[in-house]
Structure 1
Amino acid sequence: MVILVIAVTFMVGIQCAEVRKAKCKVKWFPRCYQSEHYCPPECPHHCEVDCAACKPVCNCNKPGAVCEDPRFVGGDGVAFYFHGKKNQDFCLVSDPDLHINAHFIGKSKASMKRDFTWVQSIAILFGSHNLFIGAHKVAKWDGSSDHLSVIFDGRPVNLPLSEGSEWRAQVDPALTMTRTHDTNEVVAEVAGKFKITARVVPITAEESRVHGYEITDEDCFAHLDLRFKFYSLSEEVSGVLGQTYREGYKSRVKMGAAMPIMGGDREFATTNLFAADCAMARFEGGAAIGGNILADEYAGMRCASGIGGHGIVCKK
């Protein structure tokens, strides 16, 4: 009996080690603040705590989420898929003072009419500024290494590799970047405009097996799981995700389908990651970069931690 108890305890210990914990970090909820919770079974490796309810929730199930292959949850709460095409760029949000594009990476499969795709990077245009957040290409995943690149107005953002470290833009103090984990997770926020949570994640061997991705050891297709929160969108807002925030918006996807898919590849396509030129563009700012700057130029950067983990160093 003693041996059985020890064995069960050991197995539970292994299981818990594989499940990540999340902590409430909002001081406004004193009863829950700093309390830790195991992530739910449906998202054992990535979750956050709803401090008001004091319970863990899956980030990818909330409005404004863009995760996986890629699965969107619109501002109306309706979940859908937008596959786009690999190695192309698409407009996620377009408003008069904010424009967000995404660069898709993926794999083709002879037996399928579409590509497997994931969001590798995003470009946020606001005012006269542009912000790039992207995942580096990785062969074998190592979560203790940072695979995230952040570039503001063409300059790498130096953000120490420690949870809670913060960077504020000198030319626009409203923009802050904060690490929510030692590596691979950041929050970009412009006060009164948006808050974007970005996390670099790989395609695991189990995911590849279940979905038939056929991922090899040459590339684990590191990509971004994203969560958007907007504070001041207009009724003109468009884009794959943006349109779902309009009042009275009626979803274009077939409700009840096992995989509700939104089309519009041509409608939302842009000429490059930093171009606000999709057919539904609304952006009136001056942050767009000329067509000679492509997503691959940033995606192909080779980045590593600085000495002692003090920042990001990028080389072409």
Structure 2
Amino acid sequence: MAKILVQILVSILLVLMAVEAASPPGNAKGRGNGYAACKIKKYKHCYNSVHVCPKSCPYDCTVECASCKPICTCDKPGAVCQDPRLIGGDGITFYFHGKKDNNFCLVSDNNLHINAHFIGRRNENMKRDFTWVQSIVILFDNHQLFLGAQKTSTWDDSVDRLALSFDGEPITLNESEGAKWESSGVSFVRETSTNNIIVEVEGNFRITAKVVPITEEDSRIHNYGITKDDCFAHPDLGFKFLSLSNEVNGVLGQTYRPNYVSRVNIGAKMPIMGGGKEYETSSLFSPDCSVARFIGNNGLNKNIGIVENLALPSLSCTSGIDGEGVVCKR
């Protein structure tokens, strides 16, 4: 009996040592730095197992639960990350720079429309802006969903900079891994305690979003010219679509059509998708780009009037009240 107990204790110790080895130093576990785990319970062989992120993305990876392997968040179809770098449904990587302070439709289908608000900086030596997606609005059925990054000067990953709302009402989540809000088939779940979330609408789409800054090193390498008053926090996004039609359009959406032929120069160092005017919308909340397909559940979008009342997270109310969870009425 004593021998069996010793063997059990040794086994437990080995498991604890393995988990500790997989966790990054400095108590990074819990902030999503350096490791990832499968959080989908139906994959019993992989659920909650800890994996070290690949060297190519040591602080930003997810686990593909089916294969139980860690992969870079921005290296799979449906990714919208960085400057913005997209990977289409056809697997082709391209860039869409748009224009700072403007809005563009990423996806437009009969019951799904996704607009993105671009922030950025002008580079005097180039003919375009450096841009990043700061926030998105998603229209589906007769609902609207907002997800964005709040403006911040100094980045601290332990401070949550996510801004969320559903049908014009701010969503507040406890700052703990696994914290969840759900209603009518819509769910928001924190992957880590701050700045990392999964948004899912049953039978329609699943989005992963991680708010990240432009670091001093990023700025130096790419000559972004980032100053200390704004680190241009933005969400790196991953989209999975569950019910797109063959007529879907938008910067990203069109790449999911079965007959789509990419317009980008695949052989270029930075393949760029043009057509900014084609995808531009009059506001973040309006499905009115020239390639729009959205009609919603009842043949029209009833929420346009509602969502226009929602302020972007970088704006302040005229009353002088601003900050997390504030909605300005116009």
Shorter-chain TM range is 0.7 to 0.9
Note the 1:64-83 alignment, pairs <5 A.
64-83=78-97
Q: Which entry has the higher C-alpha Rg, 1 or 2? A: 2
Rounded to whole Å, the distance in 2 between the matches of 1:294 and 1:202 is: 27
Return the offset for 1:180.
Answer: 1.0
Residue 30 of structure 1 is matched in structure 2 by 44
Pairing of 1:145-184 with structure 2 (within 5 A): 145-169=159-183, 173-184=184-195
SS in 2 for 1:72: strand
Deviation larger for 289-298 or 119-128: 289-298
The normalised TM-score by structure 1 is 0.88
Say if 2:150 and 2:163, in contact at 8 Å, map to a contact too.
yes
User: Do residues 133 (structure 1) and 147 (structure 2) align?
Assistant: yes
Secondary structure in 2 aligned to 1:90?
A: strand
1:262 to 256, 273, 283: 273
Q: Secondary structure at the match of 2:323?
A: strand
1:130–1:287 contact (8 Å) kept in structure 2: no
1:110 is aligned, of 124, 129, 138, to 124
**Alpha-carbon deviations, 1:222-273, whole Å to 9, x = none?**
0110011111101110000000000021011001110000001000000000
Unaligned runs of 5+ in 1: 1-11, 305-312
Aligned counterpart, 2:231? 220
Task: Give, in angstroms, the shift of residue 25 of structure 1.
Answer: 2.3
Return the TM-score normalized by structure 2: 0.84
| Matches of 1:25 and 1:188, distance apart in 2 | 13
Shift in Å, 1:127: 1.3
Matched with 2:304 is 289
1:74 and 1:145, CA in 2 relative to 1: closer, same or farther beyond 3 A? same
Q: Which residue of 2 aligns with 1:207?
A: 218
* CA pair 264-146 structure 1, distance change in 2 beyond 3 A: same
The answer on 1:299 being equivalent to 2:314 is: yes
**Distance in 1 between residues matched to 2:47 and 2:282, nearest whole Å:** 45
Aligned residues: 294
- Assess if the C-alpha contact under 8 Å between 1:75 and 1:245 holds in 2: yes
Instruction: Give 1:314's aligned amino acid.
Output: V
> CA shift at 1:294, angstroms?
7.9
CA contact (8 A) 2:22 2:52 kept: no
Amino acid aligned to 1:142: D
Q: Is 1:239 aligned with 2:239?
A: no
Distance 2:133 2:181 in 1: 24
Kindly state the Cα deviation for residue 162 of structure 1 after the two structures are TM-superposed: 1.1
Q: Offset of 1:292 from its aligned partner?
A: 9.5
Q: Closer, same or farther in 2 for the Cα pair 1:178/1:287, shift >3 Å?
A: farther
| Seq. identity, % | 54
Specify the code of the residue in structure 1 equivalent to 2:90: D
Deviation of 1:188 after TM superposition, in Å, equals 1.1
SS in 2 for 1:259: coil
> Match for 1:158: what amino acid?
T
Instruction: Report if aligned partners of 1:38, 1:56 keep a CA contact under 8 Å in 2.
Output: yes
